[in-house]
Structure formats: C-alpha cells, structure tokens
Amino acid sequence: MKTRILGQGLEVSEIGLGCMGLSYGYGPAIDKQAAIALIRRAYELGITFFDTAEIYGPYLNEEVVGEAIAPFRDKVVVATKFGFNYVDGQPAGLNSKPAYIRQRVEGSLKRLKIETIDLLYQHRIDPEVPIEDVAGVVKDLISEGKVKYFGMSEAGASNIRKAHAIQPVSALQSEYSLWWREPETKTFATLEELGIGFVPFSPLGKGFLTGQIDVNTEFSKNDFRNGIPRFNEENRQANMALVDLVKQIAQQKNATPAQIALAWVNAQKPWIVPIPGTTKIHRLEENAGSVNVTLTPDDLGKIKNALSAIEIIGHRYPESSEKMVDKD
C-alpha cells in the first residue's frame, strides 16, 4: 500500500476506509466487535486513513472507530465531521455556528478517545453561517492542538476559495465514481489550483459498481438506497449498462469489478484518495487489492470512450439531501 498527500502535507494510504456503513446507512449496525475487527484488519492491509462522523449512528460510529484504532492511534489518520444540529439526539438541520462547532469537536474527541482530530470536515455548508467564520474557528482549533487539518464536504468552488483564504483546506470530500463524475467539471480545477486533496465517498457507487446488485436486489428496511432515485427498479435496469462495462474490463484485467472501479478513481489524479466502505472482511481485502490493478493510458482511454456512450439515469440523492449540497 503506497501513500498519497492530501493538501498541506497530510499523508495517508492510497485508499482509506469509509466507516459509516458499519453503524449507519446500509441497514442495521453490525456487531461492535465485528466492526472493530474489520477496522483492525484494514490497518493490517496497510490502510491508515479512517473516515467517520458524529452523525453516523448518531455517535456510534465514532465510538467504534475510537476503540478500534486505539492500539495504533499514532500510526493512522482519523477524519470526522461536524455540521448538523441535533434535537433529542437526532439530526435536525444544519448548524455550523462557531461556538457549536467547538461543542461538537469536544464530543468527537471524547468518543474517539483521542487528543487531536487529524482531519476535521464541515459535513455540509450552513447557509446561515459565513464560511469565513467556520474556517476561522477551525483555524483556532488547529492552533489549540485539537485539530490538525481542515476539510470540507459537498462544498462548491466559491466557498472552498473563501474558506481556504482563512485556513488552508486540505481535502474536499464528495461523491465520485464511474457513475457520478460531476466533480470533474465542478471542482477539480479549483482543487488543483489551490493544492487541495480530494476524498471520494461512494467510489463503488454505493455498491452498484461491484456487480453484486441487480434489478431484483431488495435492500433492508433502513437502507438509505431505498430512497435514492438512481436505485429505483427502472433506473437500476437502465444503469446496468455501466455494470456490464465494468465487468468486461475486470475480466480483461483479471480483477473484480470493484477493483476496476477503485483503480479508475485512483488513476484520475495523484491527489485523490477514495474511501470505500464495507461490512465484510473479504470485501475489504478485495478493495485493498485494487491498488495492485494498473489501468494503462490505453485502458483509461477505452473506458472514457465507452462511458461517453452510456447515459446514467436517476439522481444520486433524494430531494431533501440534494438541498444540502453546495452548488456555488
């Protein structure tokens, strides 16, 4: 496992682990000890970049990650996020007021059982709070030793620039994969200009690009894919053309579809570090193996040409979530 640099010197493994699905989003939380074992196996495989957030659970995921990384805390990078308001312990809208950010950071430090958050993201832009104020309080937290690096999630170019002028942004997190390529036209130029790393979540298309999901797949009751337009039955059927393409390339490269999808993401820019998630150790090992798959310029050219002929149907978010994505 090689390493890559995000922003101003944050060195991480070339793929990370998105820990959300262990506790939230894709059905019931898995057994805590199983989740800890999976995170520790990731470390054995060379993964040193672990992504969580207080909203995952809420709170459960940070606790799991904190316990799992305790034996090797100083050898890994932990990223977490703030930005949501809570009522009776459940998320209720956005809140990035400076005093509130401080409160949330203290909670994350306790749950993670760490003294410093390596990478602190604003989870979503709060339209009620100037981004300069958000960057300012993170800058103060960095000077106080409670945070090392500043990140933003689902932020647009304008707010990235404003924040970066106050406190350098090390990473932008957003969705990016073979079936969601909007960052290429919306933010890549800004990131490259400012020297900001990019951390794609859902690089496997929320599981779709693994080839393990088809039109007949049924998701559990509290799996958020039930509400994503791209995953309704009609759209899933239409989008199978992309899966067929990935399977074809995988066969040619003696790899799995998931490994091709991850190798493609990593091949786009040297400052990209995807964070695929999984609840299964054999899938974790498969994902880690993607770093051994090399896509040549010829391979990438063929994929690009094939993608241009495939229309992806359906949006990546339900309307309520889409409203929280910064478009500027």
- In the residue annotation, 56 being an active-site residue is answered as yes
pLDDT by residue, tens only, the chain of 328 residues: 999 999 989 999 999 999 999 999 999 999 999 999 999 999 999 999 999 999 999 999 999 999 999 999 999 999 999 999 999 989 999 999 999 999 999 999 999 999 999 999 999 999 999 999 999 999 999 999 999 999 999 999 999 999 999 999 999 999 999 999 999 999 999 999 999 999 999 999 999 999 999 999 999 999 999 999 999 999 999 999 999 999 999 999 999 999 999 999 999 999 999 999 999 999 999 999 999 999 999 999 999 999 999 999 999 999 999 999 998 7
Phi, psi of 130 (to 5 degrees): -55, 135
Boundaries of every domain in the chain: 3-207+268-293
| pTM beyond 0.95, yes or no | yes
CB 60 within 8 A of CB 29: yes
Q: Which of 43, 56, 59, 100 is catalytic?
A: 56
Strand blocks (E) in 15-133: 17-18, 49-51, 77-82, 84-87, 90-94, 117-122
d(CA 55, CA 20): 9
- Could you tell me which CATH class the domain 3-207+268-293 is placed in? alpha beta
